[in-house]
Chains A and B, each alone.
Chain A
Amino acid sequence: RKEVEQDPGPFNVPEGATVAFNCTYSNSASQSFFWYRQDCRKEPKLLMSVYSSGNEDGRFTAQLNRASQYISLLIRDSKLSDSATYLCVVNTPNTGNQFYFGTGTSLTVIP
């Protein structure tokens, strides 16, 4: 079983749409959770950390459900510039502080 699983998509949405990405993780000892954005042929960049109470940063909202081992990212009012691959990342300290990456969800925002 993979440590982190994501729906690979692709998601093709019109500008202004709301889109949600989901991610599940297998290790209940995982402590920290993140969403990264990766543009084509570039390195991943941190989009936001995911806190237990859920958190919002402008058009982006992240939520964590520890009981279900589930993480989500909601993007409202999609922009063309949001087109990228979104990676769900989980940090598990008791595995030597390894970070586990989902395979990514591809988003294309269409004019």
Chain B
Amino acid sequence: DGGITQSPKYLFRKEGQNVTLSCEQNLNHDAMYWYRQDPGQGLRLIYYSQIVNDFQKGDIAEGYSVSREKKESFPLTVTSAQKNPTAFYLCASSIGILVPYNEQFFGPGTRLTVL
């Protein structure tokens, strides 16, 4: 089955630790995205990548880092510099910029809690 997987589903972090959230897709999509969702709020863009080895900051990139070494993988690292990291993290992908109506597909998300 094609789709997007995220792991882990739940993650607990101590203050001061870096953690990495995994996102893998087998849809052969060029574009991948990371969003953060806080309770009762909309999605906010952290980072996005339109092609391998390239990525751009979104609206709330401070305290986060990403890499895009392979087309199918787009891991997100939440660093200790992120002051309020407890949230629901969603990874998404889309075919790419040249395709009209290229909707986004989402992974199941990772819930990160800082203890």
Contact = CB atoms under 8 A, between A and B. Distances in A.
A42 interface: yes
Contact of B50 (A34, A45, A49, A97): A97
Report the contact-size class of chain B (Cβ under 8 Å from the partner).
20 to 34
17 contacts: A31-B100, A32-B101, A43-B107, A44-B90, A44-B106, A45-B106, A46-B104, A46-B105, A87-B42, A87-B43, A89-B104, A91-B103, A96-B48, A96-B97, A97-B96, A98-B58, A99-B94
B109 interface: yes
Contact of B56 (A34, A41, A96, A99): A96
Contacts of B78: none
Interface of A: 31-32, 34, 41-46, 49, 51, 87, 89, 91, 93, 96-99, 101-104
Interface of B: 31, 33, 35, 41-43, 45, 48, 50, 56, 58, 88, 90, 92, 94, 96-97, 100-109
Nearest to A104: B42
Contacts of A34: 103
B4 to A, nearest CB: 9
Contact of B103 (A31, A32, A93, A96): A32
A49 B101 contact: yes
A32 B101 CA distance: 5
Nearest to A32: B101
A40 B85 CA distance: 20
Contacts of B94: 97, 99
Contacts of B33: 99
Contacts of B90: 43-44
B43 A101 contact: yes
Contact of B45 (A44, A98, A102): A98
Contacts of A102: 42
B29 to A, nearest CB: 11
B26 to A, nearest CB: 17
A44 B90 CA distance: 9
A21 B3 CA distance: 29
